[in-house]
Amino acid sequence: MTPTNPGKDLNAGSLHRKRRFNQNKPLIVMFIPVILFYVVFKFIPLGGTIIAFKDYNFSDGIWGSAWVGLDNFKYLFTNYQMTQVVRNTLMLSLLNVVIGFPFPIILAILLNEVRKKWFKSAVQTFVFIPHFLNWVIVGGLVVMVFSQETGIVNHFVKFFTGEPYPFLFNESSWIAIFVGSTIWKGAGFAAIIYLAALTTIDPSLYEAANIDGANKFRQIWHVTLPGIRTTIILIFIINIGHVMEVGFDQAYVLQNPVVKNVSEVIQTWNFKVGLGAGQFSYGAALGLFESVIGFILVITANRIARKFKQGLW
């Protein structure tokens, strides 16, 4: 047996690491702004969560304000209004996930089956445009369409029934409009992710399925969906992590006092009370609670996915 030279192996390994480092220098330099962004805007601000455990005021500052422990959390979760706010947040988020999640998948599969390139490009552009619209614009469009007095839909309702319907002032119809506008704005962008995943499926699998006599529906069920299953699970886990978040812009623009019982969510409450009324400690406590629940949901969703060998880590 030929004895090995540890010193030589160590030097070879060191040279290899140095060579790899020199080769990757441009990538490391490009990655530095990303690291700085997360350090400055994500990690350093985490120190501010200490406000959630203090009776914060401007004059004393973060470190000088009195420590109150869990009193802010106790106040929040003994406040009758907070129960309603958390319930509304969960309800709207879960509806967006349950109802809205399949739409981009269906849209991507339908676009993938289109053989006319000009038609596919036109539809793709049309459904993608809403993603670039600000929620203020989308809110204006919703009011223009569903307004009780001047709305386009109510012109037809009035013609057939004689009376307009208060779509934006009825809780059930407001929720439907909220979820529908979310799907309309986001489905096109999400579909692009699934379309990219569809390009990785081996075309020979469709040919084999066709030879075996599988119709288009069975090809989608047995080839297309399994082919993008990993992407579907990834997006689903990400969405689960945002269950405690309802977009502030959307909720604030679409809500009105009549439907406050279903439209007031954590983000709008934090804006009105945490910032508007200067209750920074309560706002920080609620934000921390929201983040912890989101973290738990992501971990739980990933553990479930790992049982099917589809986890992220």
pLDDT confidence of residue 312: 65
Same-domain status, 224 and 99: yes
CA distance 311 to 237: 9
Q: Which of 141, 154, 146 is nearest to 175 (CA)?
A: 146
pLDDT confidence of residue 7: 57
Same-domain status, 56 and 173: no
Query: Do 164 and 181 form a contact (C-beta atoms < 8 A)?
Result: no
CA distance 98 to 17: 48
Residues with Cβ < 8 Å from 291, sequence gap 6 or more? Answer: 244
Same-domain status, 278 and 152: yes
φ, ψ of residue 199 to 5 degrees: the values are: -70, -15
Looking at the DSSP assignment, which residues form a beta bridge with residue 153? Answer: none
DSSP letter, residue 162: S
Same-domain status, 172 and 207: yes
Same-domain status, 218 and 261: yes
Averaged pLDDT, 69-89: 87
Confidence of residue 64 (pLDDT cuts 50, 70, 90): confident
CATH of residue 185's domain is: 1.10.3720.10
pLDDT digits (tens, 9 = 90+) for 155-171: 898 888 888 999 999 99
Same-domain status, 152 and 228: yes
Strand residues in 41-160 grouped as ranges (E): 54-55, 66-67
Domain boundary (19, 38, 69) is at: 69
CA distance 304 to 18: 40
Same-domain status, 65 and 84: no
pLDDT confidence of residue 311: 66
Looking at the DSSP assignment, which residues form a beta bridge with residue 66? Answer: 55
pLDDT confidence of residue 183: 92
CA distance 215 to 74: 59
Looking at the DSSP assignment, which residues form a beta bridge with residue 54? Answer: 67
What is the tally of structural domains in the chain?
2
pLDDT confidence of residue 181: 92
Averaged pLDDT, 4-8: 58
pLDDT confidence of residue 172: 93
pLDDT confidence of residue 299: 87
Task: Determine what percent of the chain is predicted with pLDDT higher than 90.
Answer: 23
Q: Give CA 202 to chain center in angstroms.
A: 30
Confidence of residue 105 (pLDDT cuts 50, 70, 90): very high
Residue span of the structural domain in which 45 resides: 1-69
Q: Is 70 exceeded by the pLDDT of residue 10?
A: no
Residue 200: strand, helix, or coil: coil
Same-domain status, 173 and 84: yes
Q: Is 90 exceeded by the pLDDT of residue 36?
A: yes
State both tokens at 206.
Answer: 């469709």
pLDDT digits (tens, 9 = 90+) for 202-237: 889 888 988 888 888 899 998 999 999 888 988 888
Is 312 inside any structural domain? no
Q: Is 80 exceeded by the pLDDT of residue 120?
A: yes
Same-domain status, 42 and 97: no
Higher model confidence: residue 144 or residue 10?
144
pLDDT confidence of residue 176: 93
Q: Is 70 exceeded by the pLDDT of residue 13?
A: no
